[in-house]
Chains A and B, each alone.
Chain A
């Protein structure tokens, strides 16, 4: 069975919600929709206070090539345009909408019928992705139309579909593959068409045998799509590691998958592409896993963007007494949120509640030079060294040791027997090095 070769760790899987079917979460009384739910320029708000909006209506327009449209996830009245604290803990502009009913934009096809033919050209597909605000739903939220536009001089000959879901606890992609497999695969064909490739491979980790079986069976009805089970290892869902695992190409340092003629999309994105292209439905809801060992009713929910996290937690039985930390995303790369009013956004794949007992780190001890971090680093870096260089502010040396290659997967901090905050320091060093490099370029 395939997997990536270098580094990796095996955190306990804890997929508590693997057997919980996706439920539609009720629409909250009000939503808060941030204008920056993607990588790139924040969208430009085009509604005003007091305006009435419909579900699926554009409320903010894409500003520049690397940006994305934002749509209202509910129908109602714009209450205010103000700042909101987002997942990262920073404040950003958002549209606050008071919900009235649930009236959708007319052009959205709300029928259950699965359409397997589009008849659209590649360019039309890309345009629809752009207009529907599709971004990568695996977590990075990179605007999809950008990834579908192959720049001159580059070529793409394979589309890789990420069904790995290597983060512990999360099961949203797993359930989507099981319950909406045809739509996902239809989305894959649309993406293949948009990219002009004949071949696509879907990678699914072997802890989701039911999904592997289901998608493999469905894939026989689609041209050019093959499915591979992958040996469970974190961080297999990382773009470069997945490409290595599936087609044994190694994306060079500082380069993109396109440099090895590949493009990677997440299964969640494929589903969103299907809905956008075939059903004309913009991206305003997604599957979110709500889970944790003390959560009364953990599950997978289809949640409208802008829904306060608290609304989702209430559906799962409320905040358990012992909760100490709430993480948006998975436990390895997710962000701890500081308020339950934080809205669910396009990139929210899950909400994990940790008991206070496991919310704090154990104290850091001296490095015993066991080299387990070197062993675990999927990028072949030396985390212990990068931490020391950052501590000593030797940033030039850190740059030579390729600190900017770090994708912040957290394997080093996870494995360290001395509980050293390796990744904390590496992040600090990395951002300083990037800043230094920018200054160097601007001086020239």
Chain B
């Protein structure tokens, strides 16, 4: 034994969790959806994902090393998560240069400018996605159809997403019942057999990821359940009011990015509230805004915008919505 004893304040033991382990957990949870998208979209999915992850990690490294002059932070794994999520939010045939621009916006502008991991107010991957959507509207809305493993990258068969079909049809005055034949069945949508962003299509794979993250205690149930629940309730009310003008709740949950958003994007630690009560309000806010955009807005899909809007409220919610303190309510018996 060395002659000197170490002293420090308690606690003298630490749990096993580290930032890196949590990020690795998220990456593992994203794997089923990645496999599903490679299965449906083929090489495109691999190329887009690899480019996205590599450029996010590289941009984080370069910014940290040459602009912020601080030790490398890429080993915490958060850049990999951002890269995966960015790729999951774009079509699988997106030109490589666009995805690199998106990665730059995500990591350098949305994350590192604010001070890196833990300090960014908005979800980096979503900032990148929305930037690309506005700057490259054509490429960002050209959806390859899920036709099994495609070996070509840019020449995939493209078509509209179920949400776009619905939006266009309703705008032309067609009833929902007339549009049903043009969109995949709920079972097909559940398995991911539809057009859409790379990572959002396979509901089953995303739910597997959710279960893993809940079991591994990476996230709590509050945000995913409140997002999904509020969308289900809101769309159910509309559907019951008029089922020729509004689609059913199951369609709304399975089509587009609701599950990807609720499970992986809205639960981003940094940009979501820090106590259960605020988490539920935040989740419901996302749900309600998503439905409003989908039903009455100009875009067929609104999950990204909804999450970014609610991100802006997070500091306010953390300040004014407090967890229930022990001993606050006197309850005897």
Chain A residues with CB under 8 Å of chain B are 6, 9, 11-12, 89, 168, 240, 244, 248-255, 260-261, 319-327, 329, 331-340, 352, 354, 356, 358-362, 365-372, 374-375, 378-382, 384-385, 402, 405, 408, 410, 413-419, 423-424, 427
Dominant SS among interface residues on chain A: loop
* B156: min CB distance to chain A, Å: 37
Dominant SS among interface residues on chain B: loop
* Complex Cα gap A342–B76 (Å): 41
* A425: min CB distance to chain B, Å: 10
Tell me if A250 and B326 are in contact (CB < 8 A).
yes
Tell me if B270 and A369 are in contact (CB < 8 A).
yes
Contact (A334, B10) CB under 8 Å given A368-B270, A380-B328 = yes
B118 interface residue per 8 A CB criterion = yes
* A391: min CB distance to chain B, Å: 14
Tell me if B18 and A419 are in contact (CB < 8 A).
yes
Tell me if A333 and B10 are in contact (CB < 8 A).
yes
Contacts of A324 in B (CB 8 A): 1-2, 5-6
Contact (A331, B10) CB under 8 Å given A250-B326, A370-B22 = yes
Contact (A417, B21) CB under 8 Å given A375-B220, A427-B9 = yes
Contacts of A367 in B (CB 8 A): 118
* Complex Cα gap A24–B11 (Å): 30
Contact (A417, B19) CB under 8 Å given A168-B13, A324-B5 = yes
B69 interface residue per 8 A CB criterion = no
B171 interface residue per 8 A CB criterion = no
Tell me if B7 and A334 are in contact (CB < 8 A).
no
Q: How large is the interface on B (under 10, 10 to 19, 20 to 34, 35 or more residues)?
A: 35 or more
Contacts of B204 in A (CB 8 A): none
Tell me if B17 and A417 are in contact (CB < 8 A).
yes
Which of B11, B269, B327 is within 8 Å of A370, CB to CB?
B269
Tell me if A331 and B6 are in contact (CB < 8 A).
no
Contacts of B323 in A (CB 8 A): 374, 380-382
Contact (A354, B12) CB under 8 Å given A324-B2, A366-B119, A378-B326 = yes
* Complex Cα gap A370–B20 (Å): 13
Contacts of B8 in A (CB 8 A): 325, 336, 359-361
The residue in chain A whose Cβ has the minimal distance to the Cβ of B219 is A370
Contact (A417, B330) CB under 8 Å given A319-B1, A359-B6, A375-B220 = no
Contacts of A427 in B (CB 8 A): 9
Chain B CB count within 10 A is highest, among A89, A333, A384, A418, for: A418
* A326: min CB distance to chain B, Å: 6
Tell me if B11 and A410 are in contact (CB < 8 A).
yes
Chain B residues with CB under 8 Å of chain A are 1-2, 5-15, 17-19, 21-22, 76, 78, 115-119, 220, 269-270, 272-275, 318, 322-333
Tell me if B325 and A362 are in contact (CB < 8 A).
no
* A389: min CB distance to chain B, Å: 12
* Complex Cα gap A359–B8 (Å): 9
The residue in chain B whose Cβ has the minimal distance to the Cβ of A384 is B274
Extra contacts, 17 of them, besides A324-B1, A331-B13 (Cβ < 8 A), are A89-B7, A240-B326, A250-B329, A252-B328, A322-B1, A331-B10, A332-B11, A332-B12, A356-B6, A360-B6, A365-B19, A368-B270, A370-B269, A371-B273, A382-B323, A410-B11, A419-B14
* A311: min CB distance to chain B, Å: 17
Which of B7, B11, B78, B326 is within 8 Å of A325, CB to CB?
B7
Chain B CB count within 10 A is highest, among A255, A260, A322, A352, for: A260
Which of B5, B13, B269, B331 is within 8 Å of A371, CB to CB?
B269
The residue in chain A whose Cβ has the minimal distance to the Cβ of B119 is A366
* B326: min CB distance to chain A, Å: 4
* A303: min CB distance to chain B, Å: 20
* Complex Cα gap A351–B269 (Å): 38
* Complex Cα gap A62–B14 (Å): 39
* Complex Cα gap A379–B324 (Å): 9
* Complex Cα gap A332–B14 (Å): 9
* B91: min CB distance to chain A, Å: 30
Tell me if B269 and A368 are in contact (CB < 8 A).
yes
The residue in chain B whose Cβ has the minimal distance to the Cβ of A252 is B327
